[in-house]
């Protein structure tokens, strides 16, 4: 029995050592702090989801949102690194791709935290956080999917899909995403590559994807490869995009195949 207990604690020690080598910890002495504190963080994330979903679903009726229904939870996990920056955001429990993407988008754009600490030193800490969604939005999405009977995917339509905020906002969002990607994968390299859509350059990663009738993005694939990191970053960015303004043909919203080039630049 003594030998079993000794072996058991030795295994725990080895697991903890592995976690320490990877630099991500569940235990800490001082928790990372959101600017303004825990209450402000809860208020900010609730406000973000409420505002974004109202933008994405302008048809949502205020009376339906005023009902006293229990809100559903999307749970996102991520790491606050030793610099207080968000890393490795991923979905722990989702509800619907459209809603899940918005939750991930929120987490990836979080401001810098005051980092956690252990033994007086900065500490990388793993987090999970819930984002609340009114059930009415799930019902709207289900209704949209039931009403969508046209399986045709168009390449050109009378009114092409648009990124929220236009091409300029798309460029800004892509540059912001690329900057975070660079910091994560090339933290010490000032000469690493970065990219943005529709810029003139030598190397291009070209991504195609489908914009659905509800603006949801699916089927993102690289159709022309340039460089491994550029390809991966371009694909991750497209998959993280929020809903577009859908394309229309003869006054009806339809599925449209869209193509975006991402040009690799060296600084």
Q: Which of 114, 145, 176 is where one domain is finished?
A: 145
Element (H, E) at 167: helix 166-185
* pLDDT band (50, 70, 90) for residue 48: very high
Is 248 within a domain? yes
**For 6-38, what is each residue's pLDDT tens digit?**
333 333 333 333 333 334 455 667 889 999 999
Tokens representing residue 100 in the block: 């899940």
Beta strands 252-266; 247-249: pairing state: antiparallel
DSSP secondary structure, 109-144, as one string:
TPPPPBPEEETTEEE-EEEEEEEEE-HHHHHHHHHH
CATH code at position 226: 3.30.1150
* HSE value, Cβ hemisphere, 13 Å, CA-based, for 244: 29
Pair (29, 134) in one structural domain: yes
Of 54-68, 70-84, 218-232, which range is least confident?
54-68
Range with the largest mean pLDDT of 18-32, 95-109, 191-205, 253-267? 95-109
Residues 188 and 137 grouped into a single domain: no
Same domain, 116 and 220: no
User: Is 160 part of a structural domain of the chain?
Assistant: yes
pLDDT at res. 203:
66
Q: Are 140 and 156 found together in one domain?
A: no
> What does the alpha-carbon distance between residue 82 and residue 86 come to, in Å, rounded to a whole number?
10
pLDDT, residue 85, reads 92
Mean pLDDT of 86-106: 89
Domain co-membership, 66 together with 114: yes
**DSSP codes joined into one string, 178-244:** HHHHHHHH-TT-TT-EEEEET---SEEEEEEEEE-TTS-EEEEEEEE---HHHHHHHHHHHHH--PP
234 part of a folded domain: yes
Asked if pLDDT for residue 194 goes beyond 80, the answer is no
The arithmetic mean of pLDDT across residues 176-184, rounded, is 80
Identify whether residues 137 and 154 lie together within a single domain.
no
Q: How many domains does the chain have?
A: 2
- Do 154 and 117 have their domain in common? no
Q: How far is the C-alpha of 76 from the C-alpha of 129, rounded, in Å?
A: 6
Query: In sequence order, what are the residues at sequence separation of 6 or more whose Cβ sits closer than 8 angstroms to the Cβ of residue 164?
Result: 55, 242, 243, 244, 245
Closest CA to 257 of 138, 126, 161: 161
Mean per-residue pLDDT, 116-138: 90
Burial of residue 69 (CB within 10 Å: 0-12, 13-18, 19+) is exposed
Q: Give pLDDT, residue 92.
A: 93
Among 117, 145, 173, the domain-final residue is 145
Residue-number span of the structural domain to which 82 is assigned: 22-145
Residue partners of 43: CB distance under 8 A and separation at least 6: none
Taking only the tens place, the pLDDT of each residue in 131-166 is 999 999 999 888 877 766 667 888 888 889 999 888
Whether 138 and 32 map to the same domain: the answer is yes
Q: Is the pLDDT of residue 118 over 70?
A: yes
Task: Please tell me the pTM assigned to this model.
Answer: 0.58
Is residue 186 domain-resident?
yes
pLDDT for res 69: 87
**Residue 69: DSSP 8-state:** P
Count CA within 13 A, CB hemisphere, residue 189. Answer: 12
What is the greatest pairwise CA distance in the chain?
78
Taking all residues of the chain, what is their mean pLDDT, rounded to a whole number? 80
Is residue 244 pLDDT above 90, yes or no?
Answer: yes
What are the respective helix, strand and coil percentages of the chain, to the nearest 5?
40, 30, 30
Please indicate, yes or no, whether residues 40 and 130 belong to a single structural domain of this protein: yes
Residues 111 and 31 in one domain: yes
What's the rounded mean pLDDT across residues 228-239? 86
In a domain? residue 115: yes
Q: Which of 16-30, 85-99, 218-232 has the highest mean pLDDT?
A: 85-99
């Amino acid at each position: 029995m003594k030998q079993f207990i000794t072996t058991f604690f030795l295994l725990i020690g080895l697991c903890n050592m592995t976690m320490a080598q990877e630099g991500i910890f569940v235990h800490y002495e001082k928790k990372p702090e959101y600017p303004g504190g825990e209450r402000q963080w809860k208020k900010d994330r609730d406000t973000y989801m409420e505002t974004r979903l109202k933008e994405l679903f302008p048809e949502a009726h205020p009376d339906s949102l005023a009902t006293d229904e229990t809100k559903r939870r999307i749970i996102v996990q991520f790491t606050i690194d030793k610099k207080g920056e968000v890393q490795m955001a991923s979905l722990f429990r989702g509800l619907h791709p459209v809603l899940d993407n918005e939750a991930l988008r929120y987490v990836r754009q979080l401001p810098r935290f005051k980092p956690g600490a252990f033994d007086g030193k900065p500490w990388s800490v793993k987090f999970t956080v819930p984002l609340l969604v009114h059930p009415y939005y799930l019902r709207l999405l289900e209704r949209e999917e039931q009403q969508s009977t046209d399986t045709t995917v168009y390449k050109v339509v009378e009114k092409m899909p648009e990124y929220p905020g236009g091409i300029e906002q798309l460029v800004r969002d892509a540059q912001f995403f690329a900057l975070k990607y660079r910091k994560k994968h090339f933290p010490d390299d000032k000469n690493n590559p970065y990219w943005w859509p529709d810029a003139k350059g030598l190397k291009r990663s070209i991504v195609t994807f489908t914009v659905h009738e509800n603006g949801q993005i699916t089927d993102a694939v690289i159709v022309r490869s340039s460089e491994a990191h550029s390809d991966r970053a371009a694909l991750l960015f497209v998959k993280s995009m929020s809903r577009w303004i859908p394309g229309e043909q003869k006054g009806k919203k339809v599925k449209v195949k869209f193509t975006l080039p991402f040009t690799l630049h060296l600084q």
